[in-house]
A = this chain, B = another copy of it.
């Protein structure tokens, strides 16, 4: 449990790695090759270290995963909590808002969220993350239900199904969106809300 400096050393001396950098590179590798498909040797090589030097910076492979999943879950929790706390406005407006903000979080924290969405429950850490995630999904479904009950969203589709499909579309972002690419986050979140709420059909304005 000895703590290496959390802030990168400036100037003279060997650079070393702060925990945040190791975590970031680890998440990237996990996403490229899968968590189980990535060995600590792979990660050490990626960082230009030996395996044992890597273990100086990080207690275990599992710990890296847990940190990443926590990052994603914490961010999503905040977004959903904020949306539910909005006393003003309609359920419809809260739903639109949470969709938009979910897209922003997915993009801002894309690597960590990608990892979260791929977790299968192979360990206690993964199971805990799945439980937390299920709670968030339930809250999102509740927001869709509220909008239907309010009558501002079509009532001929089961709200749980709508929720799954809607956030399935949102979550599919992680499969292709890259922040270095040419598509801005606002373009994506606008496209999603336009498709989902207005539909693709052309119709008189």
Contact = CB atoms under 8 A, between A and B. Distances in A.
Report the interface size class on chain A. 35 or more
B169 A173 contact: no
Interface stretch (A17-25, A30-38, A61-69, A73-81): A30-38
A197 B198 contact: no
A162 B197 contact: no
Interface in A156-205: 156-158, 161-162, 164-166, 168-169, 171-173, 175-176, 183, 187-188, 191-192, 194-202
A165 B172 contact: yes
Interface string A119-158: 0101000000000000000000000000000011111111
Contact of A161 (B122, B152, B188): B188
Given A165-B191, A168-B171, A199-B199, 13 more contacts: A33-B122, A34-B34, A34-B120, A36-B37, A151-B202, A158-B191, A162-B195, A162-B200, A164-B176, A166-B195, A168-B173, A169-B172, A199-B201
Return the 6 tightest CB-CB contacts between A and B, nearest first.
Answer: A168-B172, A199-B199, A36-B36, A169-B169, A36-B37, A198-B199
